[in-house]
Amino acid sequence: MGNSNEVMMLDRSIPLSKLKEITSIVMHAASADTFEQALQRIADATRELVQARYAALGVPDGHGGLTHFRVSGLTPEQIEKIAHPPMGRGLLGAIMEERKPIMVNRITDDPRSSGFPHGHPPMDSFLGVPIKVGDELFGMLYLTDRLDGESFSQEDQWLVETMAGYAALAIAGRNLHDKNRQLTLLKERQRIGMALHDGVIQSLYALGMHLDMIRTRTDVPSDTFKPVIDGLNGVIEDIRDHIMNLRRRDNENWTYRALMEDVVSHLYIPQQMRVVINAPDRPVPMALEDAESVCMIVREALSNAVRHAGACTVTITVWYYPDSLKIIVTDDGEGFDFDALTKNEGLGVRNMHERAHLHGGTLEVTSMVNVGTTVTLLVPFQSPESGFNA
């Protein structure tokens, strides 16, 4: 080591001051209250560390979309103007496929680039690295455009790779937490199943014996069946309570992404159709009834795309804000004449509007023939934090 202010690692020379800064950043991220906040802090800190204009951290879902997506350097107003979040294609897709760092001086010159969505700010240079442990890919961390206008350097890449390593630990820890949560829910299902077996089934058995005894008698007063009926009603209430308790506990563990995946899983999706879900894997701060209504609207929109649109790809995107939730369902199908359709109340549009209005929300449907259809649902609710997620 020729300089006491540098640390040599596999021919990598990183100033000691940078390592101290990274240590401080990691401790700050580890103290985050939520997983989303930890990812946001890593994205923010990496951008500051490298002095880049923009940074982002994405976690793929394994199906072409992103479970989490945190951006740094864009204002909420800029984010809202972007037509859709990254779809896991282009250079991001290359990182996921090749699982190695990518550094280019001009994004548009790289053959792997797939361009930017409408409303996306211009970006020139690119540095992205995979977030992984061994061969397991957890996501990607990338930056665009250094503030000084220079190209990204090898030192920049090493710094970003170091931050990606800490991000991998955070994501792996979250995955372990999710598995433990699922195990807890499974145990709760088993407990309720045993309660149904030991309590409700025994009650039904006793009522059955009572009915059998009454059947053998000839002089049966008219009010004889009242206690049996009351008993059956009580059993029904017990079952309803058990089910509602399970659904309530289930709802506590629902995430935006899990809700959308559940909607998709209950529909027949043709083999030639691709459904992409861009939704955050974070708890849904909504009442059970509101969440169910949101899912019914999304289900109707998705069902229309499956049955009528002739689409190749349907994309479900979830955005959440401090006081509202926005869900956009877009397909690349045949589209339709919306004015003609609404006169005949086709495709359940009126029902979707009424359901959204019932919960204080709004629904907008736009369509162009041979282009596709977009259904945008906006529902108000109270949430402690907001974000751009996909």
pLDDT digits (tens, 9 = 90+) for 320-351: 777 788 999 999 887 776 565 554 455 567 78
| Token pair listed for 41 | 């802090």
- Determine how β-strand 313-320 pairs with β-strand 274-278: parallel
* Cα gap 385→53, rounded to integer Å: 24
Q: How confident is the model at residue 387 (pLDDT cuts 50, 70, 90)?
A: very low
Please answer whether residues 42 and 166 qualify as being in contact, where contact means their C-beta atoms are separated by less than 8 angstroms: yes
Can you give the residue ranges of every domain in the chain?
Answer: 6-178, 183-252, 256-380
Predicted pLDDT at 221: 67
298: number of Cβ within 10 Å: 23
- What is the per-residue burial (b if ≥16 Cβ within 10 Å, else e) of 236-266? eeeeeebeeebeeeebeebbbbbbbbebbee
Please answer whether residues 156 and 127 qualify as being in contact, where contact means their C-beta atoms are separated by less than 8 angstroms: yes
Helix (H/G/I), strand (E/B), else coil: 79: helix
E strand segments, 134-246: 136-146
Q: How confident is the model at residue 178 (pLDDT cuts 50, 70, 90)?
A: low
Residues 6+ apart with CB under 8 A from 58: 66, 68, 69, 70, 86, 88, 92, 139, 140, 142
Domain formed by 256-380, architecture:
2-Layer Sandwich (3.30)
Please answer whether residues 161 and 101 qualify as being in contact, where contact means their C-beta atoms are separated by less than 8 angstroms: yes
Amino acid 208 reads G
| Token pair listed for 359 | 């919960």
Is there a common fold for 6-178 and 256-380? no
Q: For tokens 């649109």, what's the residue? A: 309
CATH dotted code for 6-178: 3.30.450.40
pLDDT, tens digit (0-9, with 9 covering 90-100), for 252-311: 567 888 888 888 887 778 878 888 888 887 777 777 677 888 888 898 888 888 877 778
Largest interatomic CA distance in the chain: 107
